[in-house]
Amino acid sequence: MVAADPPSANPGAVEAASGPSPGAVSGAPAAVPPFPSRGRRVLVTGASRGLGRALARAFAANGDRVAVHYGTRRTEAERTLAALDGDGHALLGADLADSGAAAGLADAAREALGGLDVLVNNAAVNTPHPPDSTGFAAWAEAWRRHVDVNLLATAHVSHSAARWMIEQGTGGRIVNIGSRGAFRGEPDHPAYGATKAAVHALGQSLAVALAPYGIAVASVAPGFIRTERVAHRLTGPEGEAIRTQSPYGRVADPDEIAAAVRWLASPEAEWSSGTVLDLNGASYLRT
């Protein structure tokens, strides 16, 4: 289920409630007005910490109002909410492995913010399951969990958000957080790499389908990002090996990825719809 939380961490936060399902869309789209650069209603999934927190902060600093989604880390999500510039933000809890909750999240964000202009699909799971040492039961469970959260939740939230954007008639932006692993392979995390490749393909299909409504859809494919979740891997020999993957000799800062996502959600980025933008510091090059 989707849970909307009171604004305990930010006096400007908005308590959300479930809204009605968007109506059926039919007929040719009407003319779409210019998409705004500020003051938009933004939903960021998986925003309790790490890249999600950086994304929420980037949009709030731009003058947008942000719905901060969390799965289980409410306390950390409240810290994200409290750190946002401006007011009118919202805190939303939902288990994205549940298809109904995933679809309902966009409804709740629209209700909390008074509309929905931008969706950033950031929430994901990434647990190891190397095929040579993982038993079948654990292997099957890993694949189910990755598909449910990384792919199906992205599809369901996007579908619900897009229908609200179409009903509003003012265009929109959807940006998916993909991965470098979709291209280079993830031997210890194959379901992660496969679901991120599917997310890239989903974004391109949605870009074509939603363009007539003024909705641009793009994805980013980051390499390694310095976040709390992977901080332990950046120490010792493993950390050195990770940093040397890039000729810059470092990994990405979350704010660097957030800046690119914010640009893809801008009016100027409409012609980038359908793109998969590599953000990996030249650590993996493709043509």
Q: Which residues are catalytic?
A: 192
φ, ψ dihedrals at 77, nearest 5°: -65, -35
φ, ψ dihedrals at 18, nearest 5°: -65, 140
Contact 92, 108 (CB under 8 A): yes
- Rounded-to-integer distance, Cα 256 and Cα 246, Å: 15
φ, ψ dihedrals at 176, nearest 5°: -100, 140
- Rounded-to-integer distance, Cα 228 and Cα 209, Å: 36
Give the burial string for 194-229 (b: 16+ CB within 10 Å, else e). Answer: bbbbbbbebbbebbeebeebbbbbbbbbbbbbbbee
